[in-house]
Chains A and B, each alone.
Chain A
Amino acid sequence: MGATEFMISLTQADGGVVFAGLGAAIAVFLSGMGSAVGIGIVGQAAAGLVIEEPEKFGRSLVLQLLPGTQGLYGFVIGLLVLGRLDIGMSMVEGMYIFAACLPIGFVGWISGIAQGKTAAAGISILARNEEQSTKGIIYAVMVETYALLAFVVSLILLNAVSF
């Protein structure tokens, strides 16, 4: 079977559900990993702060929450893919859905960690100059922009083509 024939047979094959499922998994677990690591980093920094100043717990929790959104974006994409899963899905559709899941998966993973580090630095603003701690939140939100963009693209890809 030549390459062309292989491609043709691929377009006609079904079983795309495997790829679609894989896509949903990737969207959820990569972005989830990013958020988990990110939240972990901030949590460690925050725990050190709360020893001395327990009254800053609430504000530190806000900072800790920030890197959590990536996992949620991935979760939303994963859910949307779940809604489309169908045992008779064609191979092409499955692969397309797989591709649509990649942006939020990868960007969510890396940006979650990066945002965690930024937010952890924000914890030290909170420790030394509480009045300015919102600025630490804004720094962390700068990172989030890219997770949001990836989420938007994943969302559009997922809905742009109907098979």
Chain B
Amino acid sequence: MPDLIISPGPHIKDKKDNAQIMREVLIALIPASAAAMFFFGRSALLLIFCGIVSAVFCEYLIIKVKKVPVTPADLLSATLTGLLLALMVSPVTAWWAVGIGSAVAIIIAKHAFGGLGHNIFNPALVGRAFMLASWPVMMTAWVRPFDAVTSATPLAENPLPVTYLQLLIGNHAGSIGETCILALLLGAAYLFWRRVIEWRIPVAYLCAVVVFSILLRLDSIFQLLAGGLVLGAFFMATDPVTSPVTKSGRWIFGIGAGIITVVIRISGGYPEGVCYAILIMNAATPLLDRYARGRIFGHGR
């Protein structure tokens, strides 16, 4: 008689694993990365390369130090962090600065908290916040696409220096991966199609920005298309590790991030508020998971 495996059910599993999820997010960022290289040329390529190499190197190093096996999910997750960080910086950022930012993201924001799945803050956003605090001049120097002539980011300008169409296409000054909204939306559509992200957080985030902008008599379409909001709403706020698992928590997370984004944009010290808005809501995530729980089946409303 053969020896049979006795294991608890379910005896079949979905094919999707952690590595596959990371892979799909990376695929979704291909259009935005391509647009970055199209508009900002070789400097974008160099920044993306440095961001990813530094992140993967640090990830590998730490896992080796921890003496645990290196899995594809770990390396893909680090690649994603490095890429996202690079997409959020100005094209004039020095390559070594992105490398250091990536190292901070992986070593401090991720592994100091326990590694994959345990970090409280989105590592790429921590990396960017660190770079903004360390090199404020470099991180807020902007250039126009193609000719690299110094220019301000549309969010800092008054009156409106760009058209909505320009904002959609991306031929204006800004962080390399944040300007081309069409490319980001293409990636977001892929994420929805592959069921990698869930709709509540991005919808709540974007709607909150629109509604709050209207209440404050701002140009809500401009608020929606400018800066890092689209990248943030679809690729940062939806980071599963640092966003709530409860459904009502996701609504609160998105709305909170939207309101904080607009508040920082109009009265903060920085022209853009997406990064800090999401980081602040990251901090609220454990609370939301604790207190914004829904009703359990069979329990009264």
| A joins B in a complex | no
